[in-house]
Amino acid sequence: MPLRFTNTLTRQLEEFRPLDPTGKTVKLYTCGPTVYNYAHIGNLRAYIFEDLLQRQLEASGYAVERVMNLTDVDDKTIRGSREAHVALGEFTAPFKKAFFEDLDTLRIRRAQSYPAATDAAQIARMIDMIAQLVARGHAYQAEDKSVYFRIASFPNYGRLAHLNLDELRPSGRVRSDDYEKENIGDFALWKAWDEADGAVGWDSPWGRGRPGWHIECSAMATGLLGEQIDIHCGGVDNIFPHHEAEIAQTEAITGKPFVRLWMHCAHLMVDGQKMSKSLGNFYTLRDILAKGFTGREVRYALLRVNYSLPLNFTLEGLATDARESLRRIDEWLARLNDHARTATASEPHPLAEQRRFEEALDDDLNISGALGELFKIIRESNAALDAGALAPAHARRLLAWWARINAVLALEPETVALPTEVQQLLEQRAAARAAKRWADGDALRDAIAALGWTVKDTKDGQKATRLAAAG
């Protein structure tokens, strides 16, 4: 079945076709973090949705070329660096590092590139784009020395957000003491330096200043992926004005449709409100890991609801639903692995119900439907195992299927490195058993258990697994 996604631009479910005439490569741009703090798990929901999208595209045979920006200069990062009395780069560096650690903890695949707004090449590109916009009459420098995009010059402005922007259309020049823009909706492309910016600033044809947030993404997307890209994502709060502005700036220069498919994920909610730093109702991933949850559990909790629906977050849901669902997957995999050992061959073809998992994901990333199919198969194959009615070859086939769907889910059990002490005791135990010193072997098994590991003797030798953590 072809992939279908809901396009924010048309509000329609559309069959996906890449721009690449060979049909192989998909260009994906995803708005990244503003690195003035640790990401909260609402931000991380957006990144997990984008990860699911990338993995599903790859599982469907596409090569994904992906760029994600790091917003490392804006009001918040500048304020943070002033308050901490350090240079901007010094202030943002630990948050950039923490962002990548969070990605790894949540098993989010890396983009090919993470350009930062302060990279010299990116600043140069932004200045170049702004100059082109000014030259074509799409932008102007106001009395405050900042440069603004003239939304009246771009008739499609408002199309993505489906907003009635009549009130933003010019009805003569808007002026007041503190207002120098031609139109209330005109947004900053270049912000003139002021005292609060301290040492932060770059020289430009319009004087010292810094780029606006919107031009950052237009410059990075077109600079690294080209004038036209397949898919652009973010959270729904990015639709307006950020993505609307990106379209206006980019298309005013290129004259071509910038993005074919816009996808936005609904918010992570807490008690009916958007999780956000400004409301103070947020958890960082670190907060949650400190409560004893794993990255895998958080991944599951953020993944399991369809991206287009708001997801209400509770710690209780994480402790019950996510933990319990993963435990069921783990037990099922352990049983299948045991059972498949005696299989001589795997049955080759996937079952119809297995294909339903993939079909659900093809249908606008319907992950809750796909997980429903997975748990149905788990229930049925567990029942068949209980009844002694599951052929070992079938168990092997289910494991092969799991490996395939897990390339999209990334929910495999945590692998924990064997501690050296346990490794040494295992070696001593192997030697004891080889010499038929069974009592020593048993004592060593107890010593290993005291370190939190169990040993099983299999035909391939000893197998140590970590005892389930309490809680």
Of 218 and 284, nearer to Zn ion (C-beta) is: 218
Residues in CB range of 353: below 8 A, 6 or more apart: 373, 376, 377
Helix (H, G, I), strand (E, B) or coil at 114: coil
Question: Nearer Cβ to Zn ion, position 67 or 298?
Answer: 67
**For ligand AMP, how many residues bind (rule: CB under 6 A)?**
17
Q: Is 365 in the site for Zn ion (CB under 5 A)?
A: no
> CB neighbours of 335 closer than 8 A, spacing ≥ 6?
382, 385
Q: How far apart, in Å, are the Cα atoms of 207 and each of 45, 119, 194, 431? A: 39, 19, 11, 76
Task: Report how far residue 304's alpha carbon sits from residue 297's, in angstroms, rounded to the nearest whole number.
Answer: 11
Residue 192 interface partner, choices Zn ion, ligand AMP, none, CB cut-off 5-8 Å depending on type: none
Task: Output DSSP code: residue 305.
Answer: S
Rounded CA-CA distance 65/224 in Å is: 10
User: How far is residue 52's CA from residue 361's CA, in Å, rounded to a whole number?
Assistant: 9
Contact with ligand AMP (CB under 6 A) among 27, 274, 296, 339? 274
Q: Does 212 interact with ligand AMP (rule: CB under 6 A)?
A: no
Using CB under 5 A, which of 31, 64, 265, 464 touches Zn ion? 31
Quick one: what does residue 241 bind among ligand AMP, Zn ion, none, with the CB cut-off 5 to 8 Å set by partner type? none
Tell me the two tokens of residue 327.
């435990």
Phi, psi of 374 (to 5 degrees): -60, -50
Closer to ligand AMP by CB, 267 or 296: give it: 267
Q: In what order do the strands lie in the sheet with 268-270?
A: 273-274, 268-270, 311-312
Which one of ligand AMP, Zn ion, none is in contact with 312 (Cβ closer than 5 to 8 A by kind)?
none
- What are residue 110's DSSP bridge partners? none
- Which entry of ligand AMP, Zn ion, none binds 295, CB below 5 to 8 A by partner kind? none
Question: Is 234 one of the binding residues for ligand AMP (CB under 6 A)?
Answer: yes
- Cα–Cα distance measured from residue 142 to residue 151, given in angstroms and rounded to the nearest whole number: 14
Which lies closer to ligand AMP via its Cβ, residue 46 or residue 377? 46
| DSSP label of 166 | G
Q: Give the nearest distance from C-beta 33 to ligand AMP in angstroms.
A: 4
Task: Choose the binding region for Zn ion from 92-100, 136-144, 209-217, 292-300 (rule: CB under 5 A).
Answer: 209-217
Nearer to ligand AMP, 367 or 390 (CB): 367
The total of other beta-carbon atoms located within 10 Å of residue 105's CB is 18
Q: How many residues does the chain have?
A: 471
Which residue among 60, 254, 276, 294 contacts ligand AMP (CB under 6 A)?
276
Interface with Zn ion by CB under 5 A: which range of 23-31, 138-146, 156-164, 275-283? 23-31
Q: Distance of CA 366 to CAs 1, 6, 49, 282, 309, Å?
A: 14, 11, 11, 26, 11
Positions 214 through 243 that interact with Zn ion (CB under 5 A)? 217
The residue within the footprint of ligand AMP, chosen from 267, 296, 429, 445 (CB under 6 A), is: 267
Instruction: Report 25-54 residues binding ligand AMP (CB under 6 A).
Output: 31, 33-34, 42-43, 45-46
Instruction: Give residues in contact with ligand AMP (CB under 6 A).
Output: 31, 33-34, 42-43, 45-46, 234-235, 237-238, 265, 267-268, 274-276
Question: Where do contacts with Zn ion occur on this chain (CB under 5 A)?
Answer: 31, 217
